[in-house]
Chains A and B, each alone.
Chain A
């Protein structure tokens, strides 16, 4: 049978079975072949797919276990969405210390991919804020691990792509906030050179920083974009009204609406749009999750789907490699609405296979337009590889085993903690 897709809707693979898990006290189902937990299906590529194997859907493992609203600690099952956790904790003055760009990922998925947010340079990745987690192995044992207790299991499971067993629950540290609003500031970047300066300067005083880049602009304007900085707002006498308005992309267009022309127009407008230069108050939801307002936005790319590309480059190599990546993308006329640049901090990784490391990360998405798209990705891989960088498995559908091995040198150590009954399409591809 077919089973679910990943968010970019490529590749489409067949599964032997798809089973919805209902209670965290139930044993794992007996299956033949490999299993893999599948949460909200918001990763890209094949990290959440298991061709010819079984998917264990975790979305019904969605119960909170304990919320300590005084100490700021939340224990919950792994299928709880970040969105749902925030609904609970924000009105009571807490936030998640790290959040990715969508609230519709499960806590289990956030741990398994050790996701990061715009505050990596000060807060590290999601795994840095997991106090403990419960891991159910296919032999029926449950391992409770933390940075102190069974720490190797913990390091293998954080960023472990769901391959060490089923993450049943997790206990998270929370961040105190005064209200649901953010203070934001934006700056125009006329070129890539400006990005480095502005990033260095803003990152010192702002915990959340990210830059949007126009990946189609060439020549002197290469790397032009907008730099966004934010922090949680301090207490305010009066807060603006916030109303959640949701839109939906109701159907699959037969072809991608993201073409070179529409992209060029969008990028031009987005760059030129006037922005307040002063600091502004903005609700956390449109700030962190601009695309969450549009249900099924992934349909915009048409039935054929799209690909994401996210890599990290070491700082010294990035001065040359980053322009090369942008040039390759611009040359092929491909690229995305949301090409994003961000510098990671120097904190040591939480997991053996964590993606985040000191350097600069670039993320983009491309509609699949046949062989040329895959050729572009090979070109990007080659640049990343020679720069000594790595590609993010949570968003990957294409990287070759060699690039995976060079980007993740602790694979052999990780192997020892893999569950013999767990595997994924991604894992079989990158270790082939």
Chain B
């Protein structure tokens, strides 16, 4: 079991991450949260503060993580506030409009900047920090969409694939140093990010359910976690579908 006493969460205002934060606070963790929207960040932190025990610290800072120059200072600020950092969860992201991306190069690049580049920048800083510290856990929310590019969602998928692959390598590198790297791959989750999807069938999970899986994966130092778990065999099948058949499907 990994100690998750002091956790930094990037993108804490997302439905999944704020639920993760609640569950960690219930287990006694201190939290430093970063979110883009100041009002939303404040209401998430207020909620955590109401739930915390006397000795726990709840703090945070608003920031647009697309601005990579802020990352170092945010990390330092978290470390100063919490005393030390045991774990980092990178949870920020956007779900791009695939059709808009197809029409616009800047939109495509911006989406890759948010979902892959800024996450990788944060992971690099966290890895360096934990290496120096000699312990730590790095988790990030990737997606099943990164397992194979699909016509309906491949800009997002490509960004998440980059993130997943980066984490595979990072895990490989940090393994001898006993620093855990946890890749979270949720399937469809009913959150504001997916509010535009009208018919949510049986494949959809709730943010609470996914958050429970994330906390469990972090506590157990798991490597790659599909949430809910049935996505692992599903994505295995999709990855191994012969291209000739795959191309004919409207996935």
Contacts and interface: CB of A to CB of B under 8 A. Distances in A.
A378 interface: no
B51 A88 contact: yes
Contacts of B50: 64-67, 74, 76, 88
A20 interface: yes
A12 interface: no
Interface in B19-45: 39-40, 43-44
B55 to A, nearest CB: 14
Contacts, number: 35
Interface string A340-375: 000000000000000000000000000000000000
B39 A25 contact: yes
A429 interface: no
Contact of A63 (B43, B192, B195): B43
A83 to B, nearest CB: 14
B134 to A, nearest CB: 36
Interface residues of B, number: 12
B46 interface: yes
B36 to A, nearest CB: 13
A23 B51 contact: no
Nearest to A80: B47
Contacts of B46: 63-66
A22 B192 contact: yes
Interface in A69-89: 74, 76-77, 88
Interface in B140-192: 192
User: Residue among A24, A60, A64, A77 with the most chain B CB within 10 A?
Assistant: A64
A64 B40 contact: no
A24 B51 contact: no
A23 B43 contact: yes
B43 A25 contact: yes
Nearest to A92: B53
A60 B18 CA distance: 12
Interface string A11-25: 000000000101111
A23 B49 CA distance: 17
A24 B42 CA distance: 11
Contacts of B195: 20, 22
Nearest to B19: A62
Interface in A389-405: none
Contacts of A76: 50
Contacts of B49: 66
B43 A24 contact: yes
B43 A65 contact: yes
Interface in B182-240: 192, 195
Contact of A65 (B40, B47, B192): B47
A64 B58 CA distance: 14
B28 to A, nearest CB: 14
A24 B46 CA distance: 13
Nearest to B46: A65
Given A20-B195, A22-B192, A63 B47 contact: yes
B39 A23 contact: yes
Nearest to B198: A1
Contacts of A23: 39-40, 43
A76 B43 CA distance: 10
Contacts of B47: 63-65
Contacts of A77: 43
User: Residue among B40, B43, B195 with the most chain A CB within 10 A?
Assistant: B43
A22 B37 CA distance: 13
Interface in A42-78: 60, 63-67, 74, 76-77
A65 B45 CA distance: 9
Contacts of B44: 63
A23 B44 CA distance: 10
B119 to A, nearest CB: 23
A96 B169 CA distance: 52
A23 B13 CA distance: 10
B49 to A, nearest CB: 8
Contacts of A88: 50-51
A65 B15 CA distance: 17
A67 B47 CA distance: 9
Nearest to A88: B51
User: Residue among B15, B39, B50 with the most chain A CB within 10 A?
Assistant: B50
Interface string A118-142: 0000000000000000000000000
B169 to A, nearest CB: 35
A76 B46 CA distance: 10
Interface string B37-72: 001100110110111000000000000000000000
A60 B193 CA distance: 14
Interface string B98-141: 00000000000000000000000000000000000000000000
User: Residue among B15, B40, B44, B47 with the most chain A CB within 10 A?
Assistant: B47
Contacts of A67: 50-51
A25 B46 CA distance: 14
A231 B44 CA distance: 36
Nearest to B42: A25
A391 B54 CA distance: 46
B168 to A, nearest CB: 33
A38 to B, nearest CB: 16
A77 B18 CA distance: 15
B213 to A, nearest CB: 20
Nearest to A66: B50
Contacts of B39: 23, 25
A102 to B, nearest CB: 20
B47 to A, nearest CB: 4
A20 B44 CA distance: 17
Interface of B: 15, 39-40, 43-44, 46-47, 49-51, 192, 195
Given A22-B15, A65-B47, 5 more contacts: A25-B40, A63-B43, A63-B44, A66-B50, A74-B50
20 contacts: A20-B192, A20-B195, A22-B192, A22-B195, A23-B39, A23-B40, A23-B43, A25-B39, A25-B43, A60-B15, A63-B43, A63-B44, A63-B47, A64-B46, A64-B47, A65-B43, A65-B50, A66-B50, A67-B51, A88-B51
Q: Lowest 10 A-B CB distances belong to which pairs?
A: A64-B50, A63-B47, A67-B50, A25-B39, A22-B192, A64-B47, A65-B46, A23-B40, A63-B43, A66-B50
